[in-house]
C-alpha cells in the first residue's frame, strides 16, 4: 500500500500541470457558482 502511494506521488510530481489544471478548474467553477448564487439572491 505504501509503495503504491509512493508511486502515485512520483507520478504527480513528474506531471503537475494536469493536476493543477483540474484543481484550478474545479476551484474556479466553485467560485463562479458562489458568485451566481450571490447574484441570484
Digit-by-digit pLDDT tens for the chain (41 residues) are 456 666 656 665 665 678 888 888 999 999 999 999 999 98
Per-residue confidence (pLDDT) for residue 34, from 0 to 100: 93
Question: How many whole angstroms separate alpha carbon 41 and alpha carbon 13?
Answer: 42
Per-residue pLDDT, 31 = 94
Specify the pLDDT at position 26: 92
- Give Cα separations from 41 to 27, 29, 32, 36, 37 (angstroms): 21, 18, 14, 9, 6
Residue 2 confidence (pLDDT): 57
| CA trace torsion 18, 24, 29, 34 (10° rounding) | 160
β strands within 1-41, DSSP E: none
Amino acid at each position: 500500500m505504501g509503495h503504491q502511494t509512493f508511486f502515485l506521488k512520483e507520478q504527480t510530481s513528474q506531471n503537475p500541470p494536469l493536476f493543477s489544471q483540474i484543481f484550478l478548474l474545479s476551484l474556479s467553477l466553485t467560485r463562479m457558482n458562489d458568485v451566481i448564487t450571490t447574484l441570484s439572491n
